[in-house]
Amino acid sequence: MEKVITAHQLTKKFGQFIATNAITFDVKAGEIFGFLGANGAGKTTAMRMLCGLSKPSSGEAKIAGYDIYTQTESIKQHIGYMSQKFSLYEDLTVTENIRFFGGIYGLSQQQIKEKSDALIQRLELSSVAHTLLSSLPLGWKQKLAFSVAILHEPKIVFLDEPTGGVDPVTRRQFWDLIYEAAAKGITIFVTTHYMDEAEYCDRISIMVDGKMEALGTPLELKQQFKAVTMDEVFYILARGAKRIE
């Protein structure tokens, strides 16, 4: 399968501090790739480099075929991004948010109308389509934010702890949306601190103190570390961590 993310010895330093230390991995098209680690492990720093928002100190990487040093604008056109903190506008309605971001992504007015109508219907938001986002429950906002992040059908969507603070039922519904997107060929790159969500990923990497200490499917990692759950795997790796946020 096509590799849409490739990273080799990717490193980011801030003075003498090495935030991300020579990480190497690749991600295939349509894969759900979990990027795990405790606070301070280097996850967000790595994600910012992969999104073209921060230049590496050394190493190489390509995102959707584009170089992260010289083609950052092309990268941004082919990815979606949902931050840990809610990323839509609270003082706009549901419909206004969809139309606004559709315009940013360069969709035509006809495309925006068609995608907006389809999205509202699919998420069952018709009754609140003209309601300010600030008055909606967090779970609804998060599902909408994810759907807007893939409105332009990017090759890759980066999700930074997207289910933080939502209830278990809403988390499960959110993952249903992730599965739907992956089935359409969109690659999902997701950070999470919920170890049960790690089980939903095709493959997982676990970072400790800036280094990638494990990489494989959930089953492979549980077998490798002789663990029953991903919680146990994570504890085995993270208990020796020296860095904290």
Q: What is the pLDDT of residue 223?
A: 95
pLDDT at 245: 47
165, pLDDT greater than 90:
no
Per-residue pLDDT at 239: 79
> Which two three-digit tokens encode residue 104?
């940013």
pLDDT beyond 60 at 69: yes
Q: Which has the closest alpha carbon to 10: 26, 2, 21, 19? A: 21
* Token pair listed for 225: 């570390």
Residue 59, C-beta contacts closer than 8 angstroms, at least 6 positions apart = 7, 8, 9, 10, 11, 22, 23
- For 103, the 3-state DSSP assignment is helix
- Residue 6 confidence (pLDDT) above 80: yes
Residue pLDDT, tens place only, 166-191 = 788 888 888 999 999 999 999 999 98
* C-alpha neighbours within 13 Å on the C-beta side of residue 43: 27
**CA of 76: how far to CAs of 68, 80, 101, in Å?**
10, 8, 14
Helix H or strand E encompassing 102? helix 94-104
Per-residue model confidence as pLDDT tens digits over 27-65: 999 999 999 987 778 888 999 999 988 999 999 999 999
Contact (Cβ atoms closer than 8 angstroms) between residue 42 and residue 205? no
Distance CA 1, CA 108 (A): 31
> CB count, 10 Å around CB of 52?
21
| Structure token pair of residue 227 | 């663990």
> pLDDT tens across 102-119, in order?
998 889 999 999 999 999
pLDDT at 244 over 60: no
Contact of 230 with 199, CB cutoff 8 Å:
yes
